[in-house]
Amino acid sequence: MAYTTVNNITSAEDFVFDLEGNVLSIDPQGNLVSSNQLGQTSLVVPGVVADAAGMSMLPDGTIVVASPATGSLVTITPEGGTTTLLSGIAYPNGVEVHRDGWIAVSEHDAGVVRRVDPKTGEFIILAEGLWNPNGVSFSPDYSTLYVNSFGGGTVHSIALTETGAASDPVLLGELDEDSGTPPPWGNDPWLSSCDGLNSGDSCELIDQAGTCVNWDGSLYCDAPDPFAAACASLSEGDSCTLLTESGTCSDWGWGLMCDNASWWGGEGGGLDGMAVDGCGNVYVTEFGTGKIWRWSADGVGPDLVAEMPSYWIPNMDFGVGVGGWDTERMWVIDRDTDQIFGLDIGVPGRPLAHQ
Amino acid sequence: MSVKPPLVERVKKRIRAPVFAVPLLVRCACLCALSLLGLVACPSDDDDDVPIDLSGPCELDSLAGRFRVERQEQFPVIDGSVANGVVPVTILEELEVVGPCKLLRRNNPFCDPACEPNFTCDFDGSCIPFPENQDVGTVTITGLAELVEMEPVEPGNRYFDTSLSDPLFQPEDEIVLEAAGEALDGFRLEGIGSDVLELAEDATILVEEGEIILVEWPAPTTEVPATIELELTIDQHGNSPVRIQCELEDTGAAELPAEVADALLNAGVSGFPNAVLSRRTVDSTSAGGLCVELVVGSPRSPDVRVGGHTPCDEPDDCPDGLTCDLAINTCI
């Protein structure tokens, strides 16, 4: 698919279009900055968060940012006032504002999605039992919330009612490119290697010794990464062995690891950012591959929309029609370099809460 | 296809970061104008060379506030805040000390049920009031290109100024921050301007298992007792939030022991590597029974490469024998 590139946009995990033609984002120093298509970047509010994941804008122009370093949601008023709206969130990640003004935030490490009141910080759990929930987005009529899974390769839909109730998550689609037979150690050896054990007990993570440690009520084995250890003295492309399984030493951006596509059946896909167009199609970016996938509202897909020249495209949104940010283009931020890609989708995005 | 990233492993421990006490001789000559306003006592001429201590950073378990005076890559930045407590999750666990470096891990405390708004989870599983930023009165900073006065911005009692002259400071500038005091008592912090850290465009830190990590930067042209702080993170996406933090002498280069690379890689890698290299001075003092610090410096972000991963944008970026896979910006 054809795309344009806008350079000199601050590298960030997520961004928001304001209604004056600017991209608002959090730069690596934690500053809220404003960038435009002329390559101009200005400081809006310095040092608002230590780090930032998802961000969105409330109807009154207040920005809400997820800060994984402090496990919190932070709001920034147009005047620069900041409030920690809610804390104690185990890796807050995707953030989206409903047209009624409430905030959906995925709690990556707890497997839940919270609905948060933007004034009081009070919350309810919209969905739980999810695997690494990451990107979130609403359907055009805001009756459905979509959430994807980083590492699970899935997209779920959650039906919403006007009373605030939510249905159980329903699988909308799943990446099947990595389907295969799970290896002997299962899909989650970090967790399964502590089955039946207690915190502090010794554990064996495939072929590495460790100790079971408690995290969020679950026990994980803290042994060295066996996939990295299997390639410790090897080179990229060399054959490697884990127990009786054979793989190849590969580097997908985070060092040499023993890998075999068949090991990750149903668990591939570091699904990351998410957007929905005005027709209800759901778009998801994939970490590590630069791919953008699309499912229809009724779950047909995934279709490969584009493969961007980047291995981290953490988020995207449709333009608002001001400042050159065309409404029928989906703008995809590249955290690898300071740029945004504009993909010609041909339909506008769903209306945003602050539009 | 991507390798499944390793999962998080975290335990409940706290660290106490070392406090660096750096004795200094700092000429005190720039506060007389403020003394006329009754804000600062003006030293006599006899006090031209006043020995002071830059107290270094706060310990993490008492770090309640920080002010930054920084020449960042794109902007001059002054901001800060002082809270009435420490958010537990910001207290990192010290896993290992190797040479000048510490391997730190963020541990997320767990509370069931989750804490209500305005509360946060502590490491003992209890919910405690979320620390609130405090009004510390008018904050004045002297010694910069211009006098800076800031009032707290509501909500949140944060201090910042986005209308600053650039360059914000020059090497050897003696910078003094004074908070007049309001909800908390006033305090005074000091810093010294240093050469802005200008890294080469292709400055890169390579992290490979079993290999020394070479860090290079332009040596300073002035004698300022600044240090170089390196923060290096490979792991992202919440799976193993571990970082390396090193305090280096400002000589222009440092060789970090191979154990640093091994410790970081063994902690697990699952995402985008990044680093911040900062030439800075740090001072700290007590505020409200906790600790507040002033950082004066110039942070920069060199590229980071993890062994085996060579980034590229075009074929010529790759070494002989490799080609550039543009889809993943990696030489293969």
CB atoms A311 and B329 under 8 Å? yes
Lowest mean pLDDT among A18-27, A71-80, A163-172: A163-172
What six digits make up the tokens of A213? Answer: 């440690």
Residue A343: the pLDDT is: 97
Q: How confident is the model at residue B111 (pLDDT cuts 50, 70, 90)?
A: confident
Burial B180-197 (b: 16+ CB within 10 A, else e): eeeebeebebbbbbbbbb
**Does residue B105 lie in a domain region?**
yes
Q: Which residue has the higher pLDDT, A57 or A253?
A: A57
Residue A172: the pLDDT is: 96
| SS3 at position A289 | coil
Residue pairs between chains A and B whose CB atoms are closer than 8 Å: 230
CB contacts, 8 Å: A30 with chain B:
none
Contact B300, B276 (CB under 8 A): yes
Q: How confident is the model at residue A183 (pLDDT cuts 50, 70, 90)?
A: low
Residue B60: the pLDDT is: 94
Amino acid at B290: L
CB atoms B3 and A257 under 8 Å? yes
Residue A164 confidence (pLDDT) above 90: no
Question: pLDDT, tens digit, for every residue of A234-250?
Answer: 888 788 888 877 888 87
What is the DSSP-derived secondary structure letter of residue A219?
A: E
Burial A88-116 (b: 16+ CB within 10 A, else e): bbbbbbbbbbbeeebbbbbbbbbbbbbbb
Domain range annotation of chain A = 3-178+267-344, 189-264
Q: Is B212 on the interface with A (CB under 8 A)?
A: no
CB atoms B327 and A224 under 8 Å? no
Share of chain B above pLDDT 90, in %: 57
Question: pLDDT, tens digit, for every residue of B272-299?
Answer: 678 999 999 999 999 989 999 999 999 9
Rounded to an integer, what distance in angstroms lies between the CA atom of residue A236 and that of residue A255? 10
CB contacts, 8 Å: B117 with chain A:
85-86, 120-123
Q: How confident is the model at residue A158 (pLDDT cuts 50, 70, 90)?
A: very high
C-alpha torsion sign, points B26, B168, A77, A111: negative
Q: How confident is the model at residue B9 (pLDDT cuts 50, 70, 90)?
A: very low
CB atoms B121 and A217 under 8 Å? no
**Does residue B231 lie in a domain region?**
yes
Residue B16 confidence (pLDDT) above 90: no
Rounded to an integer, what distance in angstroms lies between the CA atom of residue A355 and that of residue A237? 50
Residue B262: the pLDDT is: 85
Residue A262 confidence (pLDDT) above 70: no
Share of chain A above pLDDT 70, in %: 91
Question: pLDDT, tens digit, for every residue of B27-73?
Answer: 333 333 333 344 333 333 344 455 557 999 999 999 999 999 999 99
Before B113, cis peptide (omega within 30)?
Answer: yes
Amino acid at B242: V
Please state the separation of Cα A231 from the chain's center in Å: 28
Calculate the alpha carbon distances from B74 to A12, A51, A57, A353, B70 in Å: 15, 18, 24, 31, 11
What six digits make up the tokens of B52? Answer: 């002071």
Share of chain B above pLDDT 70, in %: 73
Calculate the alpha carbon distances from A271 to A31, A190, A253, A287 in Å: 26, 20, 15, 6
Residue A222: the pLDDT is: 85
B307: nearest CA in chain A? A255
Q: Span A319-348, mean pLDDT?
A: 94
Calculate the alpha carbon distances from A47 to A50, A288, B72 in Å: 7, 29, 12
Query: Which residues span the domain enclosing B76?
Result: 22-301
Residue B58: the pLDDT is: 97
Residue-by-residue DSSP string for B252-287 = SEEEE-HHHHHHHHHT---S--EEEEEEEEEEEEEE
Structurally, at CATH architecture level, domain A3-178+267-344 sits in 6 Propeller (2.120)
Q: Span A275-283, mean pLDDT?
A: 98
Q: Span B116-135, mean pLDDT?
A: 93
Determine the distance in angstroms separating the CA of B133 from the nearest CA of chain A, rounded to an integer. 9
What is the DSSP-derived secondary structure letter of residue B108?
A: -
Q: Is A27 on the interface with B (CB under 8 A)?
A: yes
Q: How confident is the model at residue B201 (pLDDT cuts 50, 70, 90)?
A: confident
What is the DSSP-derived secondary structure letter of residue A191?
A: H
Q: Which residue, among B44, B128, B149, has the nearest Cα to B86 in the 3D structure?
A: B128
Tell me the average pLDDT of chain A. Answer: 88
Alpha-helical segments (H) within chain A: 189-192, 226-229
Interface of B with A in 22-61 (CB under 8 A): none
Contact A197, A190 (CB under 8 A): no
Interface of A with B in 180-219 (CB under 8 A): 187-188, 190-191, 210, 213-217
Burial A24-59 (b: 16+ CB within 10 A, else e): bbbbbbbbbbbbbbeeebebbbbbbbbbbbbbbbbe
Residue-by-residue DSSP string for A134-152 = EEEEE-TTSSEEEEEEBTT
Out of A43, A108, A309, the one facing B329 most closely (by C-beta) is: A309
Determine the distance in angstroms separating the CA of B236 from the nearest CA of chain A, rounded to an integer. 10
Residue A261: the pLDDT is: 55
Q: How confident is the model at residue A263 (pLDDT cuts 50, 70, 90)?
A: low
Tell me the average pLDDT of chain B. Answer: 80
Residue B6: the pLDDT is: 28
**Does residue B329 lie in a domain region?**
no
Residue A248: the pLDDT is: 81
Residue B4: the pLDDT is: 29
**Does residue B11 lie in a domain region?**
no
Q: How confident is the model at residue A317 (pLDDT cuts 50, 70, 90)?
A: very high
Q: How confident is the model at residue B221 (pLDDT cuts 50, 70, 90)?
A: very high
| SS3 at position B236 | coil
Out of B2, B89, B276, the one facing A270 most closely (by C-beta) is: B2
Task: Give how many domains chain B has, as a whole number.
Answer: 1
Residue B319: the pLDDT is: 64
CB atoms within 10 A of CB B175: 23
